[in-house]
C-alpha cells in the first residue's frame, strides 16, 4: 500500500512539473524584458539604459547565412538613423563568443554594436525560435514589432517606419 502511494505521488509530481508553463515570451504590445549583456569591448550594456530611444534588437549568429546577408542592410540602417533617438543592438548567439564575432566582422570589413548572448539566456527570454529575429522597441520600452527572418533594413519604408517612431 505504501509503495503504491509513493508511486502515485511520484507520478503526480512528474505530471505536475511536466505541465508547468514556460516563462512568458516577449510579444508585440508588451514591455520588452530588460537584460544586461556584455559588448565586444567588455562593457556591460543594459536594455533599459536606452529608454527614450527606439531600439532595433536583432538576434543573429555568424554561422547563419540569412543573418550574414542581412548585415550590410543593418549597417546601412545604422548610418541612416545616425543622430536620431535610435539604437541598434545586434545580439549574437554564437557559442564561440567574442573571438568568433570579432573575427567575423574583421573578415566582413564592417562593425555593428554587438552584444554577446553565448548561453542563449536573453534569446530564451525573448522566445526566439531561430535567427535572425528582430524586435522593434519604442521609446517607452514597448515591443512594436517582432520580425522573424531577414528583411532589407535599408529599404526606405523601413527607415521611415523607424524614423516615425523616433519622433513620437
Q: CA 70 to CA 47: how far, in whole Å?
A: 22
Cell numbers placing 98:
567574442
pTM value is 0.84
Which pLDDT tens digit goes with each residue over 124-141?
999 999 999 999 999 999
Q: CA 54 to CA 51: how far, in whole Å?
A: 8
Helix or strand or coil: residue 122? helix
Check pLDDT > 90 for residue 79: yes
Q: Show the domains of the chain with their CATH numbers.
A: 25-167 (3.40.30.10)
pLDDT band, residue 158 (cuts 50/70/90): very high
Contact 168, 142 (CB under 8 A): no
Amino acid at each position: 500500500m505504501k509503495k503504491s502511494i509513493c508511486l502515485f505521488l511520484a507520478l503526480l509530481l512528474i505530471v505536475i512539473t511536466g505541465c508547468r508553463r514556460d516563462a512568458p515570451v516577449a510579444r508585440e504590445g508588451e514591455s520588452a524584458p530588460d537584460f544586461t549583456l556584455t559588448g565586444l569591448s567588455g562593457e556591460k550594456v543594459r536594455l533599459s539604459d536606452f529608454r527614450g530611444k527606439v531600439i532595433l534588437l536583432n538576434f543573429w549568429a555568424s554561422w547563419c547565412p540569412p543573418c550574414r546577408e542581412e548585415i550590410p542592410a543593418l549597417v546601412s540602417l545604422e548610418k541612416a538613423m545616425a543622430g536620431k533617438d535610435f539604437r541598434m543592438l545586434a545580439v549574437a548567439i554564437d557559442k564561440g563568443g567574442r573571438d568568433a564575432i570579432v573575427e567575423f566582422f574583421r573578415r566582413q570589413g564592417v562593425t555593428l554594436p554587438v552584444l554577446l548572448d553565448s548561453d542563449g539566456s536573453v534569446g530564451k527570454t525573448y522566445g526566439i525560435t531561430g535567427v535572425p529575429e528582430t524586435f522593434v522597441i519604442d521609446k517607452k520600452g514597448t515591443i512594436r514589432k517582432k520580425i522573424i527572418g531577414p528583411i532589407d533594413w535599408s529599404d526606405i519604408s523601413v527607415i521611415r517606419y523607424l524614423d516615425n517612431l523616433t519622433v513620437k
